[in-house]
Structure 1
Amino acid sequence: MSRALRLRPSAAAAALLICLLGMAETARAAEPKLPLAAPADVGMQASRLEAIDRIAAEGIRDKKMPGCVIVVGHKGKIVHRKAYGLRRAEPTREEMTLDTVFDLASLTKPISTATSVHKLVSEGKVDLDAPVTKYLPAFAENGKDKITVRHLLLHTSGLIPDNAIGDYALGPETAWQKILALKPVAGLDEKFMYSDVNFLVLGRIVEEVSGRKLNDYVRAELYEPLGMPDTGYLPDKSLLPRICPTEKKGETWLTGLVHDPRAQALGGVAGHAGLFSTGDDLAVFAQMLLSGGTWNGKTILPEAALKEMTRPTAVPGSNFRMAGWDNRSGYSANRGDLLSPAAYGHGGFTGTGIWIDPEQELFVIFLSSRLHPTGDGIVNPLIGRVCTVAAAAIVPKK
C-alpha cells in the first residue's frame, strides 16, 4: 500500500498545500454534526489516516477531479473531515469548502428511494415480495406482472438500464407512460442488471403509496428529522453559492440543476437521481444507519427494516447486493480491499461515493465533481483507496 500512496518529490509541495487548505477550511467551517475525535481516542492510527491527504493530492494533480470533500467516521466520531482543492475551476476558481453541496447522482438510490421504500415496509404500506402492479397497475403491461418490489431493489427485474432519452421529449406524463410500458429484456432473476429504471419505478411507488411527491416525502420523513438541512431535491437558490458545478450546458455550468438528463426531464425529482447533499449531512445519515436506524433518540428506520435493507443477497453473476445498496458486485470498484462482508455502499456518476461498515463501526464519504470542468475525471479508484486506508487505520482488537 505504501508504494501506491507515495508521491513523486515534485508533488510533495502540492500535497502539503492541499493538506493545509483542508485543515484551514476545517478550522473555520461550521462545527460538524457528529463529534470530532482524535483517531487514537477511537482506536485508529493517525499516521495511517494521513495517507488520505496524499490520495486527494494525487487525484487533483492527475486531473481526476478539481477537488473533493472526504469524511471518515468511526465509533460515532469523526476522525477525518477535510476539503481539498477547488469547488469550481471555471470560469472562476473557487476553493472547495466543507459545506459544499454536491449533486449525488446515484447515491439518490439508497439515500432517498430505498430508505423510503423500507420505511413504508416497516409501516405495513409496502410488501417487498408483492408485485409492483399492486401499487402501479399500469406496470403490468408487456408481461411485468410478476416483477416484485424486491426485484427492483436488487436489480434482478430484467428491465433495461435506461430507457431512451427520447421517451422524455413530450414531458413527464408521457415519459411515465413509456417507463411503465417498458418490456423486460431478461427473465426474472436471470441477470443482475443495474438499472435506473428500477429506481425510477420505486420512486413512483413511494409517491403512490405515501400520497406525496418524493421530494416532499424524504424531506419530511428522513432529512428534517435527521437535521440535514442541505439535503434534498431541487436545492434552494440560497444554496447556489455553495453548490459544486458539474458539466457545461450551452454557455452555463450546471449548478443546482441535476446532471442526470432523465431526472432533469422529470423536473429534477426522480428515484434514481436528483438528490443534493453535503459531507456533514451524509455523515449524520451514515451514523443513523450504524446506530440501528435511530438518531438523537428518534427512530428514523426501525431496526427490522434496516436489517432487511442491509442483508447481503446473492444475485446472478457471482454478485452480492442488498435491497437498495451495493455490497460486493461488479459495481464495487470504489469499495477498497479491507471492508467487511457486511459493508454496504454506493457510487454516483458525478464522482460521489459512500461506504458504511457496521462490523467495523466505520463510514467513508467521498464527494467530488469529477465531471467539472472537462467531463472526463475518474474517482472510483481514489474512493476505494480511501476506504482501504480508513479500514487499515483501525487498530486490531487484542
Structure 2
Amino acid sequence: MRSITLLAAIVAALAAAPPPAPPRREATGFEAARLGRIDVLVDEAIRAKQLPGAVVLVGRGDNVAYLKAYGNRAEVPAVEPMTLDTLFDLASLTKVVATTTSVMILVEEGRIRLNDAVAAFIPGFERYGKGGITIRHLLTHTSGLRGDIDLADPWTGYATAIARAVEEVPNSPPGERFVYSDINFFLLGEVVARVSGMGLDRFSRERVFAPLGMNDTAFNPPASLRPRIAPTEACAGPGCPPGEMLRGVVHDPTARRMGGVAGHAGLFSDAADLSRFCRMLLHGGSLGSARILGPLAVARMTSPATPPELRDVRAFGWDLDSRFASNSGDLLPVGSFGHTGFTGTSIWIDPLTGVYVVFLSSRLHPDGKGDVTPLRARVATAVAAALVDVGPRVAAREAGFARHDFGAASRPAAPH
C-alpha cells in the first residue's frame, strides 16, 4: 500500500512539473545546440591538418547568428592566432564578388548586353572560331575555352594574358559544354575595363565595395593590411621571390603574373565585408542607402542560365547545382547559390530563408596539402540542420524547382 501511495505521489509530481524546455533558439531562428556543431567540425579538421584555421560567419537577413575564429592565421614562420578580422585570399570568389557584379552593373546600364559577342569588345577575339562566344557564355562557363592559359613558359603581364586568350582555340562550340574556365573570367574583367574606362580593381572598388562599406576588400591590398592577411604557401615561379611565403600577394599563378588584378582571382577580403555583400544580394541589390543592382538584375544573375540539357546548372557567375556544388552541403534548398575559392573559401546564400554562410580559410598554408571540400559541405549542412521556422515558402519553392528539369542529378565532390 505504501509503495502504491509513493508511486501516486511521483506521478502527481511529474504531472504538475513544467514540460522540458524546448531547445534554445536564437533570435535568428536557429537552434543554438545544432549550430554549435560547427565548432566540432572545424576543430576536427584542424586536428587532421586539413587547414590551420578558419573564420565562419552565419547570417540570416541583417542579423549575424554565428561568428567565430578557429585555430591559427599563420603557422610559418611564426604562429599567429586566427582573428575575426583576418583577411583572406578569396581566389575564385573574385569571379562573383567583383567580376560578375561589375558585369551586371554594366548590363543594367545598357552598356553590355548578355548576348553581345565578346569580339565586340575585344577586337581579334573572333579568330579561330570564337566569333560566336558571347558574354553569356563567359558568365556560365559554356564558351568552349579550356580552363586556363599555358604557364609553361615564364610570361608576365596583364596585356600578355589577354593577348594569349585572344589566340586561344576553343575545344567545343559555345553553349555545348560546361567547362570551368579562368580564361572566361579574366576576359570578363577586360570587358569591364574596356567598357567602363577603368580597371576592374577601380571599378569594383568605386561601384561595389566603397558604397557597401567593404573597406578592407581589395586587389593588391596595401602593406598596412599585411599583418591581418592569412598567408597561403611558399611562392614558386614568376611574380615573387622563390621560397617566400605568399602574404598579400595572390596565390593564383595566372593572376599573379597579370599583376594581381584579374577577373578570376586576386581579391582579398574578410568575413565582415563579405557579410555586407551577402546582405546586399538578399536585399535585392541594396544595403542601406547604397544601391548596387536592382532586384531584377540580382534575380537574373542568380537564376539558372545554362542550357537545360547540361547536367551542370549555373547562374551568371554563381553556382547552383554543378559538379562544384558539393560544398553547399545536403540540405540547403534548391535555389540557393554560391561559389568557392581554391584557397579554401566559400559563400552560400539562400534567398527565401535569408540565410548565408561565409567560410574563410587558408587551407594551402603552409605546405599546400590541406583540403576543406568535405568541411565546407559539413558546415553548410550543419547550418541548414540548425535552421527552424523556415516558413511555407521553402517547401513551395522546392516543389516548383522539382518541376524544372535541370538535368543535374547529383553533386559529386570536386574541390575548387
Deviations 1:137-178 (A, max 9, x none): 221111111111000000111001111014661533333211
Q: What secondary structure does 1:79 align onto?
A: strand
Query: Measured at CA, do residues 69 and 39 of structure 1 come closer, stay the same or move farther in structure 2, by a change above 3 Å?
Result: farther
CA distance in 1, matches of 2:337, 2:289: 24
336, 346, 356: which one aligns with 1:353: 346
CA distance in 2, matches of 1:380, 1:39: 29
CA distance in 2, matches of 1:136, 1:196: 17
Q: Is the 8 A contact 1:135 1:208 kept in 2?
A: yes
| 1:82 maps onto 2:75 in alignment | no
Q: What residue ranges of structure 1 are gaps of 5+ in the alignment?
A: 1-37
CA distance in 2, matches of 1:163, 1:86: 34
Q: What residue ranges of structure 2 are gaps of 5+ in the alignment?
A: 1-23, 236-241, 393-416
CA distance in 2, matches of 1:272, 1:314: 19
269, 277, 290: which one aligns with 1:298: 290
TM-score, structure 1 as length reference: 0.88
**Larger gyration radius, structure 1 or structure 2:** 2
CA distance in 2, matches of 1:81, 1:104: 18
CA distance in 1, matches of 2:156, 2:243: 24
Q: 384-393 or 99-108: which moved more? A: 384-393
374, 377, 383: which one aligns with 1:384: 377
Q: What secondary structure does 1:327 align onto?
A: strand
State the match for 1:7 in structure 2.
none
State the match for 1:169 in structure 2.
155
CA distance in 2, matches of 1:222, 1:170: 28
Q: What secondary structure does 1:68 align onto?
A: strand
Q: Is the 8 A contact 1:161 1:193 kept in 2?
A: yes
CA distance in 2, matches of 1:74, 1:160: 37
Q: Is the 8 A contact 2:98 2:263 kept in 1?
A: yes
| 1:124 maps onto 2:117 in alignment | no
CA distance in 1, matches of 2:162, 2:132: 20
Structure 1 counterpart of 2:252, one-letter code: D
CA distance in 2, matches of 1:134, 1:168: 30
CA distance in 1, matches of 2:378, 2:144: 33
Give how far 1:332 is off.
0.8
| 1:251 maps onto 2:243 in alignment | yes
State the match for 1:289 in structure 2.
281
| 1:97 maps onto 2:97 in alignment | no
Give how far 1:119 is off.
0.6
Q: What is the aligned-residue RMSD (CA, Å)?
A: 1.4
196, 200, 216: which one aligns with 2:182: 196
219, 241, 245: which one aligns with 1:233: 219
CA distance in 1, matches of 2:43, 2:215: 30
Q: What secondary structure does 1:87 align onto?
A: strand
State the match for 1:13 in structure 2.
none
Q: What secondary structure does 2:317 align onto?
A: coil
State the match for 2:209 in structure 1.
223
| 1:187 maps onto 2:179 in alignment | no
User: How many residues matched?
Assistant: 361
CA distance in 1, matches of 2:182, 2:39: 33
Structure 1 counterpart of 2:211, one-letter code: P
Q: Is the 8 A contact 2:218 2:267 kept in 1?
A: yes
State the match for 1:3 in structure 2.
none
Q: What secondary structure does 2:327 align onto?
A: coil
Q: What secondary structure does 2:194 align onto?
A: helix
